[in-house]
Amino acid sequence: MEHKIILIQPKKKIALVAHDSKKQDLLEWAKWNKALLEEHELYATGTTGMLLEQVLGRPVHRYQSGPLGGDQQIGAKIAEGYIDFMIFFWDPLDAAPHDPDVKALLRIAVVWNIPVACNRASADFMISSILMTGEYERLVPDYQPYQQRFAEALAEGGEGETSPASKAAARSDASPSPDAGTALEPEPKAEDSENLQEPSS
């Protein structure tokens, strides 16, 4: 797949997200790195954003709370190119009611190749990187050919791209049953049965 370059400016647009059990960790981390975060524009889900504003003493772009769609809003902004970087302290031991949204957010971050820190250690390494202070050429897969193929398939009356699972199911349906390969022996004709003799006792 071909790639294209998206230039990330020195002033990064950073999304900050944390599960309830990880909010205190994120707040402590943000307070410790307050001077570094001053150089960048911050975005957050509802409650996390409100707490960050209190700790950092500066405005934070706030979306809805995670369970109310905030994770999806941030994911949409990543897809639109408005978010350059994400710090997401999520709890691997606690199942949240909006787990599908959490997985979708992490997936979309990988799809668009943005830096993601999922714990305090990785966030420390990333925020202190020399790449944070200058421009960065982010390689992003060019999905236009895929979208074009899908659109052409729909225009031709097809069903678009077929998933591997669907293809496997189609092959399974088309394959003969185990009994189908066994040829049935023909029944004897009437004239043949007349020639049959009973065995002598």
Residues taking part in catalysis: 71
Identify whether the C-beta of residue 14 lies closer than 8 Å to the C-beta of residue 41. yes
Asked whether 11 and 39 are in contact (CB, 8 A), the reply is: yes
CA 93 → CA 33, 69, 90, 155, distances in Å? 26, 21, 9, 46
CA end-to-end span of the chain, whole Å? 80
Strand pairing partners for 137? 7
CB of 46 closer than 8 Å to CB of 72: no
